[in-house]
């Protein structure tokens, strides 16, 4: 028997002819290795583990952790603990108390004032109507939070995790194809690398990964060119990294599948060989985790939870196989074949990249939706590249040497700053394939925030993200799920069902995902349910995404989230009315939750501004209406505690929302402007830089204005002895000052205001109009003969002015117009 001691771990590997004993010490976190001779004796194709393909971990420039930020801690569990009977009873009591308090306020404060005292003051009547309307909308949002939360509690009690053996057995006979689409625009290579690696290590057979680079193809800025070159190299780098393990385990799979075809139990040699394969894989992953550079919470998560977590799974499986060998258990050869397939599938991935802006005929609209649409529209087609005077284009061809863009049963749209746990694709596709789920179009696990936030703002923003995970689970309980585009598995035929086709310049443009707003996934959710599809949130926590660490980045993200809901809400309302007219029942809870999801930012922002600006009579600020909000705040504080935050974070979140009030209000106004102009706006990417992103000066000044006006209102309320409104103003002023200091920063706010002032007074240089005569009076250049022959005699301009397809101003075809609409 051979014994090897490495790093304090002991591995004992039995000879083939001796007693079957194998003991791995050190637990799942150790690096337990067999002897080198044992590795070499396991069969053809088995090699010694290669050294880490990533560069050695370098210190890097890690952001300094702020006081009050989050300490490094493990992520939340994959599955929440089932809610207790008491928790569900308390949740129901909170809903009842909120409704009862609102009814009591209307009956006692409003009706009694008008009936008992009569209408004697028009100003008081106007105040009463305005206050009741505002408080009704705010109470409605609080009620929807409690309702969605209650649905999440119910779902936590009913979810049972599918055993891994059942999934492996399912994939033995059925292997639906899956393509992962990673849209990326001006991202840092390190950010994209983490996303690609988490996708490539998914335990799913034959998965394709396509990086959809949307950067300008020929940037002039050296930093942008270097970043683009780094992203272009990532697919090849990732595949090269995984080629060694894939080749090793593919050779093992041939042996195990041959034994499975023969049937019967496995041999000791087969058990031992497979156990050593799992040990080898665990060591390889540990080496990658140790060598992975760590300069952010996302990189920590990838190293510890993706690489390290997968290594732990393999090590536990190895221990189980060695234990079976010790006990001389009769493990079916088919099961060993399934386990070996798991190793092969984990390291099997076809990774490539695609750049739509390289091709002149594809839509170049500045949004993520059209980046996805451009590639999805090419799937299932064989094309060839043709150079024209317009630029490089793709044309359909039947030539066998053409470029085949494979179609797929399922798509996974994955943002370039998101990270998946190892079983994400496996479990979600398995759920979609179960009988009865044929009409589920989209399934996802709403993403959670990375733990260990380095700034106070990132910690609170992460807390709101984790709260949203709970609420989205509750939306599914009531049939009100929304597609969250950061990481969603989509049934391809469902997208084919909602595709809209138009023609621009003779070129076909396909819209699978609507780009009328920058929250394209929300509008596409309405399109899917209107065509009879459903959406589903998988009740586990299997995906994570980055949270902005500074106020400037947060402004960009939340401004995008605040825009578009008002434009989509009328579409859903028309759908709900049409369904009821046709006799189809639409749950009132689903209607209320969906409308709140799309429009609550609007009425919450307007209502809070109203309460801040207009002082109200003490008779209206009754303790009863405060009691209506109390269950909401108590439930949220309880949820924060459950998620690993502090109960007092409920006040920090309120302060957080106060400084975001101008951002949300601006998004609402932008939606109204879009509705009036019937236009679209460009997609604003959330900045991901190591240094701080400067916030717009207007939003910083607005935060100071809220604080100043709140204290001004407090001063006036003290003079007129309006104590209730004064207390409200004091709370708002104090919390806004805290938010400015904690989330924006006094020094940073001054810098941002000065920078905004400098940008405001600068006059941008006006670009010369090449279509006019220059100062010397020379006429514009004549088009060359090739341009005339390609574009036509009326062509103006030169080759340098090549046009690109944009669909911003192209009207959408009507739903009933079958001549303009095509379904695949």
Mean pLDDT throughout 786-811?
53
Percent of the chain with pLDDT strictly greater than 90: 46
Residue 176 is predicted with a pLDDT of: 93
When pLDDT is averaged across residues 265-272 and rounded to a whole number, the result is 82
pLDDT at 786: 62
pLDDT per residue as tens digits for the range 692-739: 788 889 999 999 999 999 999 999 888 888 888 888 899 999 999 999
Residue 618 scores a pLDDT above 80: no
Least confident range from 23-27, 63-67, 587-591, 800-804: namely 23-27
Look at strands 178-184 and 208-213 and give their pairing. Answer: parallel
Condensed to tens digits (0 to 9), the pLDDT of residues 663-674 reads 999 888 887 777
CB-neighbour burial class of residue 301 (10 A; exposed 0-12, middle 13-18, buried 19+) = buried
Q: What share of the chain is helix, strand, coil (3-state, %, to 5)?
A: 55, 10, 35
CA–CA dist 172, 505 (Å, integer): 47
The predicted pLDDT at position 71 comes to 82
For 398-413, write each residue's pLDDT tens digit.
Answer: 888 889 999 999 999 9
Q: What mean pLDDT do residues 239-247 have?
A: 92
pLDDT at 557 over 90: no
**How far is it between the farthest Cα atoms of the chain?**
103
Q: With 90 as the cut, is the pLDDT of residue 796 above it? A: no
- Judged by average pLDDT, the poorest of 82-91, 692-701, 775-784, 793-802 is 793-802
**Is residue 116 over pLDDT 80?**
no
Q: At what angle do helices 661-677 and 697-720 cross, to 10 degrees?
A: 120
Contact criterion met (CB below 8 Å) for 242 and 347: yes
| pLDDT of amino acid 378 | 93
Q: List the beta bridge partners of residue 387.
A: 392
Predicted local confidence at residue 105, as pLDDT: 87
Whole-number mean pLDDT of the chain?
Answer: 82
Q: Do 481 and 468 meet the contact criterion of CB atoms below 8 Å apart?
A: no
Residue in this structure with the two tokens 């494979």, named with its chain if needed: 406
763 falls in which pLDDT band (50, 70, 90)? low
pLDDT at 19: 33
Residue 491 φ then ψ, to 5°: -75, 125
What pLDDT, on the 0 to 100 scale, is given for residue 29? 34
- pLDDT (0 to 100) of residue 503: 80
Mean pLDDT of all residues in 360-372 = 86
Q: What is the pLDDT of residue 670?
A: 83
Position 493 scores a pLDDT of: 96
pLDDT, tens digit, for every residue of 470-497? 999 999 999 999 998 789 999 999 999 9
Residue 664 contacts residue 558 (beta carbons within 8 Å): yes
DSSP state of 805: B
Q: How far, in Å, CA of 753 to CA of 757, rounded?
A: 6
pTM exceeding the 0.75 threshold for the entire prediction:
yes
How many residues does this entry show for the chain?
824
Least confident among 13-22, 171-180, 366-375:
13-22
Residue, of 454 and 201, whose pLDDT is higher: 201
Residue 32, pLDDT > 50, answer: no
Task: State residue 809's pLDDT score.
Answer: 43
Decide the pairing of beta strands 381-387 and 403-405.
Answer: antiparallel
Residue with the larger pLDDT of the pair 445 and 671: 445
Instruction: Tell me the per-residue pLDDT of 579-612, one tens digit each, with 9 for 90 and over.
Output: 988 888 889 999 999 999 999 999 999 988 888 8
Tens digit of pLDDT for each residue in 162-181?
998 888 888 878 889 999 99
Q: Give the mean model confidence (pLDDT) for residues 450-470.
A: 91
- The 3-class secondary structure across 226-270, one letter per residue, is HHHHHHHHHHHHHHHHHHHHHHHHHHHHHHHHHHHHHCCECCHHH
**Is the predicted pLDDT of residue 288 greater than 90, yes or no?**
yes
* Cα separation, 189 vs 227, whole angstroms: 6
pLDDT value, residue 790: 60
Could you tell me which residues come within 8 angstroms of residue 541 by beta carbon, excluding any fewer than 6 positions away? 75, 76, 77, 78, 79, 80, 445, 448, 469
Q: Residue 120 has what pLDDT?
A: 63
pLDDT digits (tens, 9 = 90+) for 227-240: 999 999 999 999 99
Which of 23-37, 106-120, 638-652, 677-691 shows the lowest per-residue confidence on average (mean pLDDT)?
23-37
DSSP string, 332-372: BHHHHHHHHHHHHHHT--EEEEE-GGGSTTSB--SSHHHHH
């Amino acid at each position: 028997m051979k014994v090897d001691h490495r790093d304090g771990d002991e591995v004992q590997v039995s000879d083939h002819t001796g007693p079957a004993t194998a003991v791995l010490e050190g637990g799942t976190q150790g690096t337990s290795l067999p002897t080198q001779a044992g590795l070499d004796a396991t069969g053809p194709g088995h090699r010694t583990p290669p050294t880490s393909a990533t560069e050695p971990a370098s210190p890097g420039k890690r952001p300094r952790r702020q006081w009050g930020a989050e300490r490094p801690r493990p992520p939340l569990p994959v599955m929440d603990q089932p809610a207790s009977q008491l928790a569900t009873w308390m949740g129901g009591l909170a809903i009842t108390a909120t409704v009862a308090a609102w009814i009591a306020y209307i009956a006692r404060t409003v009706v009694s004032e008008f009936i008992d005292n009569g209408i004697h003051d028009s100003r008081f009547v106007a105040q009463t109507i305005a206050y009741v309307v505002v408080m009704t909308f705010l109470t409605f949002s609080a009620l929807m939070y409690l309702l969605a939360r209650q649905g999440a509690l119910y779902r936590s009690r009913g979810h049972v995790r599918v055993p891994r053996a059942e999934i492996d057995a399912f994939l033995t006979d059925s292997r639906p194809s899956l393509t992962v689409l990673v849209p990326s625009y001006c991202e840092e290579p390190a950010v994209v690398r983490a996303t690609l690696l988490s996708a490539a290590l998914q335990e799913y057979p034959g998965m394709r990964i396509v990086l959809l680079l949307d950067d300008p193809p020929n940037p002039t800025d050296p930093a942008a060119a270097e970043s683009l070159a780094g992203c272009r190299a990532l697919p090849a780098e990732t595949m090269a990294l995984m080629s060694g393990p894939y080749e090793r385990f593919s050779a093992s799979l041939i042996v195990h599948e041959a034994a499975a075809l023969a049937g019967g139990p496995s041999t000791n040699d087969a058990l031992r060989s497979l156990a050593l394969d799992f040990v080898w894989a665990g060591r390889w992953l540990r080496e990658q985790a140790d060598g992975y550079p760590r300069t952010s919470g996302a990189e920590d998560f990838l190293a510890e939870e993706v690489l390290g977590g997968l290594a732990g799974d393999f090590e536990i499986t190895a221990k189980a196989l060695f234990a079976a060998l010790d006990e001389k258990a009769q493990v079916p050869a088919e099961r060993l074949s399934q386990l070996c397939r798991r190793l092969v599938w984990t390291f099997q991935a076809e990774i490539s990249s695609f750049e739509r802006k390289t091709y002149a005929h594809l839509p170049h609209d500045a949004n993520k939706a059209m980046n996805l649409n451009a590639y999805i529209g090419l799937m299932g087609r064989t094309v060839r590249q043709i150079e024209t005077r317009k630029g490089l284009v793709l044309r359909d061809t039947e030539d066998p040497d053409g470029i085949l863009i494979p179609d797929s049963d399922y798509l996974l749209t994955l943002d370039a700053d998101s990270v998946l746990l190892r079983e994400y694709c496996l479990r979600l596709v398995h759920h979609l394939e179960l009988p009865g789920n044929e009409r589920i179009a989209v399934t996802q696990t709403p993403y959670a925030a990375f733990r260990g936030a380095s700034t106070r703002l990132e910690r609170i923003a992460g807390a709101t993200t984790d709260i949203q995970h709970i609420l989205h689970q509750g939306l599914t309980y009531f049939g009100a799920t929304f597609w969250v585009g950061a990481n969603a598995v989509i049934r391809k035929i469902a997208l084919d069902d909602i595709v809209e086709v138009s023609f621009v310049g003779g070129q076909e443009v396909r819209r699978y995902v609507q780009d009328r707003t920058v929250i394209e996934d929300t509008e596409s959710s309405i399109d899917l349910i209107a065509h009879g599809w459903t959406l589903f949130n998988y009740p586990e926590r299997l995906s994570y995404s980055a949270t902005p660490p500074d106020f400037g980045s947060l402004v960009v993200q939340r401004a995008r989230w605040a825009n578009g809901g008002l434009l989509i809400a009328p579409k859903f309302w028309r759908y709900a009315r049409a369904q009821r007219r046709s006799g189809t029942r639409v749950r009132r809870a689903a209607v209320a939750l969906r409308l709140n999801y799309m429009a609550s930012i609007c009425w919450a922002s307007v209502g809070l501004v109203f309460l801040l600006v207009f002082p109200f009579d003490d008779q209206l600020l009754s303790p009863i209406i405060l009691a209506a909000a109390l269950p909401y705040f108590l439930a949220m504080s309880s949820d924060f505690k459950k998620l690993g935050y502090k109960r007092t974070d409920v006040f920090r979140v309120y302060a957080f929302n106060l400084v975001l009030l101008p951002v949300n209000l601006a998004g609402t106004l932008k939606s109204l402007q879009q509705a009036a102009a019937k236009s679209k706006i460009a997609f604003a990417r959330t900045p991901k830089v190591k240094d701080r992103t400067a916030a717009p000066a207007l939003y910083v000044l607005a935060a100071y204005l809220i604080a100043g006006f709140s204290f001004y209102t407090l001063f006036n309320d003290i003079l007129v002895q309006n104590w209730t409104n004064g207390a409200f103003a004091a709370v708002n002023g104090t919390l806004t000052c805290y938010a400015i200091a904690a989330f924006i920063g006094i020094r940073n706010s001054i810098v941002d205001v000065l920078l905004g002032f400098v940008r405001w007074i600068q006059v941008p240089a006006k670009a010369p109009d090449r279509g006019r005569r220059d100062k010397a009076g020379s006429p514009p250049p004549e088009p060359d003969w090739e341009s005339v022959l390609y574009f036509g005699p009326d062509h103006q301009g030169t080759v340098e002015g090549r046009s690109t397809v944009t669909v911003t101003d192209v009207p959408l075809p009507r739903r009933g117009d079958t001549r303009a609409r095509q379904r695949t």
